[in-house]
Structure 1
Amino acid sequence: MHEERYDDEPGSAGGTGLRAVAAFAAIGTMALLMLFVVTAASTRALPAVLPGWDVSVPGVSQALAELPEGYRVEAPAEDHRFNRPIRILVLGADRRPDESPLSARTDSILVLTLDPATHRGTVLSVPRDMWVQFGEGDYGRINASFRAGAEGGGTINAGAEQTIRDLRENFGIEADYFVWLDIRGAARVIEALGGVDVDIPAELTVAEWFYSDDDETSPRYVEFPEGKQHLTGYEAIAFSRYREDSDLYRVQRQQLVLRALLEDAVAFRGLIGAPVAAWAARSVVVTDIPAGRVPGIALLASRVAGELETFSLGDQVDGTPTVWPVTTADGASVLDWDAANVAVLVANAAATR
């Protein structure tokens, strides 16, 4: 794995300059994407550049089809490595501004699976309080896994790799890449996309609540009633962090916001806002996804958004609880879990074809 860190660059451009840059970037992004498509369509590279997309270019596609046997470019089979499901661990880090990223609590842990062959996707969330074993015999909440790895290895990559190992060894969850996201900073990304539209079910509503963002910025009262709501970046993060009713409900709120963001990615305002959002994300996102794969994976994610299924290790299986609260010898409140139920949920989330 390698680390790609997006850091803010100083600048003094005003609003007009930013809009001009955004407009130019949008045009450039679309032009570059078209170049990717046309070039890749005439080679075997298309599935690698744009997984899950079958592009037909007039003239080029016909010429390829008429090539003699042995020279013809065939589409990869469903079981080809280009068509294997892509599994991305998403870690939402909750930290104070004066805290090091290496000491952050990853209170949001989920695995996004995207299938290029079937255009289906799943999100599997892991409740942060699930009690797991780290390495040779240490135990703790799963949200402490990242911190243990990051502080031991000295990098965000080391923390993500530790979490991937612990998810695999405790739950059988696999991941190919990771995305580490500063939750508070993510508000800027959502703002750049023009906010997010969510349809809040009755069980996830939030009555009037004083959200202080840990008394750092803009404390205010917020509420999230049932029905369709347009949330600002600040509101989306507040909604995602609320857990006074249940940490399991908080997981569902996060899934709701994630699904809405993916669906907005295919909307016109999402396309226009994407370059600005990418700029806003430079200081709050770390990933090991190779730069050459990012455009294709992003397009695939937007394509499967409408078919996205959500799962949680907090879900019941055939009416049987998967997790339940217990108190450790040190007095900590954590979640114990049923291994058989976890295996069923992990298998269901991985079954995209």
Structure 2
Amino acid sequence: MGTLSAHPSFAHPGKTARNPARRRRPFRAVLLLLLALVLLIPASAGAYLFNLGRIFDSETTKIENAFPDEATRPQPSFPGGAAGGAPGAGPAAAGGSPSDSGRSLNILVMGSDSRGATTEEATSGAGSNQRADTLMLVHIPADRSKIYSISLMRDLWVGIPDHGHAKINAALAFGGVPLMVQTVESLFGQRIDHIAMIDFEGFVGLTDALGGVQVDVPAPFVSYHDQIAFPAGPNTLDGKHALEFVRERYAFADGDYQRVRNQQAFVKALLARNLSADTLLNPLKVHNVVSAMAPFISVDGGLDAATIAGLAVELKDVRPRDMVMFTLPTRGTGTSTDGQSIVLTDPVAIEALSAAMAADTLGDYVAANGLEGGN
């Protein structure tokens, strides 16, 4: 079994010094979802919730202007897949959605490549130098039996409202979080109920707080920049090496596609670690996990500890096997008219996926397309 340790003496032959600037471009967004999942734990861990909630609410950053103008948005889903309510009316007018209970939910999880910009710039709604390096649309059905996570390729060529066509990750740079939400809502015709962002330091801290995470590497590879070897089979990764694992793309023939698959594999492994008895029955470890993550998290105002606690109760029976992760089907890669390397959307797949989300039948879509184990 390959083991990558956080011990100071750990080294790899040929490994070069890390470039601090480059380390600002990791897989960040996925872990924002994972913070929520840290709290989505069985009722047996309920004694921890008060303290975890206090840490979450006091240490996370709240995105004050997370959503676009209500008149531009799809209506929220209701039981049975129906939508209702006039634009701007009722609780949704505040930016988010009506009560989350009893209906399907969509959570946009993102991570950004700061490129010298700050989270405050992205969350202000103004343009900045940030890019959404990783995007995941998380769909939780009304019956709370599963969690579906749909990865969106960062180079997906889409229409960005009032900015023409561009790579989807540019929306954050053009108009901050509200424009990114509007772009994803326009792509799928589905309302985003909550938003979460994470900084890479939280990703490293969470992994180390758990004492490392074991990931089954399907085929051996060596990371392009730091020449770190990842042997085939189970690898126990500390935070820094996990970060290298999920951000690597140059070592693979299909680049970002394999990187996304690695990200998904790591999320599943991390979720399993979070829900293990070793974690849940150790109050100090649970406290350390949340404490390590919270300072590096930004969420919309509605995604507070009370909301997460409610989801914890509703999702108390969900286990790692109930989390389905796949990548939005595409038509492969291409080149834009201005010479950029892009990922081409598959309108047929998007339409079918959107219809399944609206009808709260995403499980049927997944089964019909053989996506239970990813793609």
Report if TM-score (shorter chain) is over 0.5: yes
CA distance in 2, matches of 1:264, 1:174: 31
- Percent identity for Structure 1 against Structure 2: 27
2:326 corresponding residue in structure 1: 311
Q: Which residue of the other structure, out of 286, 299, 303, is the alignment partner of 2:298?
A: 286
Q: Shift of the alpha carbon at 1:268?
A: 2.6
- Mapping 1:202-241, distance limit 5 Å: 202=219, 205=220, 207-211=221-225, 220-241=226-247
Measured after TM superposition, the shift of residue 252 of structure 1 is 1.0
Deviation sequence 1:169-218 (CA, Å, 0-9, x none): 1233542101101134411122112221222223xx4x22254xxxxxxx
Q: Give 1:304 shift.
A: 3.8
AA in 1 matched with 2:347: A
Matched letter for residue 295 of structure 1: A
Q: Does 1:84 align with 2:103?
A: yes
- 1:35-83 CA distance string (max 9 Å, x none): 9xxxxxxxxxxxxxxxxxxxxxxxxxxxxxxxxxxxxxxxxx9999623
State the structure with bigger RCO (CA 8 A, min sep 6), 1 or 2.
2
Cα deviations across residues 227-263 of structure 1 (Å, max 9, x unaligned)? 2221111111111111112111111111111122222
Report if the CA contact (8 A) 1:265-1:302 is conserved.
Answer: no
CA offset at residue 112 of structure 1? 1.7
Report the Cα distance in structure 2 between the residues aligned to 1:201 and 1:174, rounded to whole angstroms: 36
- CA separation of 1:269/1:326 partners in 2, compared to 1, >3 Å: closer, same or farther? same
Contact 2:223 2:248 in 1 (8 A): no
Pairwise CA RMSD of aligned residues? 2.9
The 5-angstrom pairing of residues 149-160 of structure 1 reads 149-150=175-176, 159=177
1:183 counterpart = 2:200: yes
Which structure's CA Rg is the greater one?
Answer: 1
- 1:304-340 per-position Cα deviation (integer Å, ceiling 9, x unaligned): 4221112211x3xxxxxx2222222322111222211
Report matched runs for 1:48-87 at 5 Å: 82-87=101-106
Change in 2 beyond 3 A, CA 1:30/1:138: same
Deviation of the 1:30 alpha carbon: 4.5
State the SS of the aligned residue for 1:92: strand
Query: Please, which of 135, 150, 163 is the counterpart of residue 124 of structure 1?
Result: 150
> How many pairs align?
257
Give the secondary-structure state (helix, strand or coil) at the position aligned to 2:162.
Answer: coil
Q: State the partner residue of 2:276.
A: 267
**1:301–1:86 distance in 2 versus 1, CA, 3 Å:** farther
Q: Is 1:199 the equivalent of 2:216?
A: yes
Matched, 1:168 2:185: yes
1:232 and 1:332 mapped to 2: Cα distance?
35
Moved more, 301-310 or 107-116: 301-310
Residue segments in structure 2 that go unaligned for 5+ positions in a row: 1-44, 52-78, 82-98, 123-128, 364-375
Structure 1 residues 148 and 192, CA gap change in structure 2 (3 angstroms): same
Does the 8 A contact of 1:262 with 1:302 survive in 2? no
SS of match in other structure, 1:132: strand
TM-score (norm 2): 0.61
Q: Is the partner of 2:137 in helix, strand or coil?
A: strand
Partner in structure 2 of residue 31 of structure 1: 47
Q: Distance in 1 between the 2:312 and 2:266 partners?
A: 17
Aligned to 1:143: 169
SS in 1 for 2:258: helix
Letter in 1 for 2:222: E
> 1 CA distance for matches of 2:144 and 2:295?
34
Are 1:331 and 2:339 an aligned pair? yes
Counterpart in 2 of 1:53? none
Alpha-carbon contact 2:275-2:319 (below 8 Å) kept? no
Change (3 A) 1:232 1:167: same
Distance 1:307 1:327 in 2: 37
Q: Which runs of 5+ in 1 are unaligned?
A: 1-28, 36-76, 151-158, 212-219, 316-321
Are 1:100 and 2:118 an aligned pair? yes
Q: Which amino acid aligns with 1:267?
A: S
Task: Describe the SS at the equivalent of 1:243.
Answer: coil
Deviates more, 1:80-89 or 1:182-191: 80-89
In the alignment, which residue of structure 1 is the partner of 2:257? 248
Amino acid at match of 2:239: G
Kept in 1, the 8 Å contact 2:223–2:244? The answer is: no
